[in-house]
Each structure stands twice: as C-alpha cells, then as structure tokens.
Amino acid sequence: MQKRVLITGAAGFIASHLVDALIKSDNFVVGIDDLSGGSVDNLPKGTAAVNNFKFYQVDIANYSHAEEIFRSHRPQIIYHLASCAREGASELQPYKITKTNVLTSSIVLELGIKYKMERLVFTSSMSVYGKGKPPFDEKHPVRPVDPYGVSKAATEQILWQLADTYKFDGIVLRPHNVIGPHQAHYDRYRNVVGIFINSILRGEPLYLFGENHRRAFSNIEDSLPCFIRAGEDKRIVGETINVGGKEFVTVMELAEEVIKNMPEFSRPEIIQLLPRPHEVADAYCTTAKSEELLGYKETHGWQDGVRRQVEWTKAKGKAEWRYDDLPLKPEAMPTPWIKP
C-alpha cells in the first residue's frame, strides 16, 4: 500500500538517495529543503518521478510555511534529516547550529504529532558519544563535546519524550561518515571526502586536522537499505541504532585513496594542521545492532564509496568554496576556514 512519506533536508546527500529509493517503492514522497546545504540537482526529474514526488523549497524554521505542507499532505512517515551538519565549525556558529537543528526538529515533531504521523525516523549522529574508547556502541554514554553533538543529543531526548506522550513510532539512527555521490564538495567546513576531491580539482593542498585520526567511512550503497528499513520495520520502534562502516582507517589513508582515484591530476601537497577545537581523534562505532535489526552489510565498502564519489564529483566539476561569515573566530583559526 502506498505511504505518504515526508523527508526533510530532501536535497541533501543521504536524503536525496532516500527520495529516489522510496519513489521507486511506489510511495508518495514530499521533500522539504531550503537548499542551504543541498542541491536541487540531487532530486528526481521526469514524469514518473513528478507523479510520486512533490518538492518544497522552504525553511522549516518558518512554522506557518511548514504547517501548510503538513496540513496539505498529512505524512504518515517522516524521515527527519534536515540539519546544519558542520560539526567541526559548530563552536564558531553555535546560534546557527542550535536554531537549525533543535528548533527545526521541534517544529517537525510538533507538526508531525498535530497531523497524526505514524512514525518518525530521526537522523542523529555519532557526535553524541563525544570522547571515549571506540568503537562506540549504542549503550555508550552520551557526552557530546561540541554544540553540534549537543544539538543532536537534545533532539533525541525531545523525540523520546514526545513519542512516549503521543504514542507515535520513534526511531533514532546514528550514521557516521557516509560517503558517495550527491555529497556537497564546495563547503569548507564539512564532508572531508568532498573537500579532498575539490581541492585536487582546484590544484590546492589537502589539509588534515590532527595526526592519524581514525574514522570508519560508509558507502551510501551499504547504508541506504538501513534507512529504508527504519521507516518500515516494526521491530525497531523505540530503538537507537548506529549506521556506518565496519573498517576504520586514518584520515591520511583516506586522503591517499582519494589521490589514487584521481591519477590524471597532479599529486597534491598534504599539510597537517592542529586538531580543531574539541575534535575527537578516534571515532567509529559498532555495527552489530545495525546488522541484527537493519540487515546492514558491507557489500560495497568504503573504497568503492570513494571511487563513486570521485567519479560523480569530477562530472560536476570543480566548485568555488563556500564560506560563512562566522560570528566567532578562535585565536588559532583553521587555515582552510579563512576566506581569502
């Protein structure tokens, strides 16, 4: 039976893949995005897609505009992915992070309850774990060390409190370091693979924060089935589940993998910088729960994710860097974040 599905942040990286998949499953999909971090080019085109898809370029923080969409479509399932995902820069723009993440989430939850949603899948983040001994499992204490992590942890708590009161199905996914096509490569503050690719396209150095920091990168092709199942499976109601790669690598190894996939370009200089404020050196998660409940499989792997993202980004072409006028500037401002 066709479901009415609403996806926030629909033009973003993970969400746009989710839009495509749910349309193919014959759902009616409503997408909302203000295009501050996503691109309309990521969204479906063509008659078949138009019949099953409606897109609104709207800032969800505008309550009345958001309510018009909820009232018109009364979504049964909501995937809430809209956020400002600049974790590293969140201490430099804390107001923007909390407004975009916590206020927007509260509006989505309130309107979802008001218009009788059945289920909300919230895309949180590994950042809620903060510092500790990886791999982090879902029982690891929630101790975020930056405003971005705090905003995700706060939204999780609001979700669970409201789900208990209003009896809708709540699920929290904590993805980490997902990579692949559709990921923005122009943002100076997020998406390390995209930044590396664009830097090589532009003939610029690669900047690495810290020394041998380790992460587990996840191919969107491996992670996407988990997001789809989260909107369907009754067994996972009330669960919090990590979603991401099984194999951790250093960021230096990641840089070398990107370089390997761009042999036609000059090898870039690699410059190591001091860690960003409160940056966690080693951060990766367990996969046992996602394998058991969401059927997570490492079928494609992170190297294939890098390869596919390189191919997609090269087809898009090099981009001008996008900078914000950051309201706060630390004494040791990271070199790549300083607008020329």
- Segment 288-327, tens digit of pLDDT: 999 999 999 999 999 999 999 999 999 999 999 999 989 9
* Sequential DSSP letters for 115-139: TT-SEEEEE--GGGG-SSSSSB-TT
Q: Are 242 and 136 in contact (CB under 8 A)?
A: yes
- Segment 165-219, tens digit of pLDDT: 999 999 999 999 999 999 999 999 999 999 999 999 999 999 999 878 999 999 9
Tokens of 41: 């080019």
pLDDT of residue 49: 62
- Segment 245-298, tens digit of pLDDT: 999 999 999 999 999 999 999 999 999 998 888 899 999 999 999 999 999 999
As a whole number, the mean pLDDT across the chain is 95
pLDDT of residue 48: 58
Q: Are 134 and 96 in contact (CB under 8 A)?
A: no
For residues 217 and 78, give the distance between their C-alpha atoms in angstroms, rounded to a whole number: 26
Q: Is 127 a residue whose pLDDT tops 80?
A: yes
Closest CA to 118 of 75, 178, 56: 75
Global confidence as pTM: 0.96
- Segment 43-73, tens digit of pLDDT: 998 665 678 999 999 999 999 999 999 999 9
258 CB neighbour count, 10 Å cutoff: 23
pLDDT of residue 275: 87
pLDDT of residue 46: 66
Tokens of 318: 């090099």
Q: Are 29 and 69 in contact (CB under 8 A)?
A: no
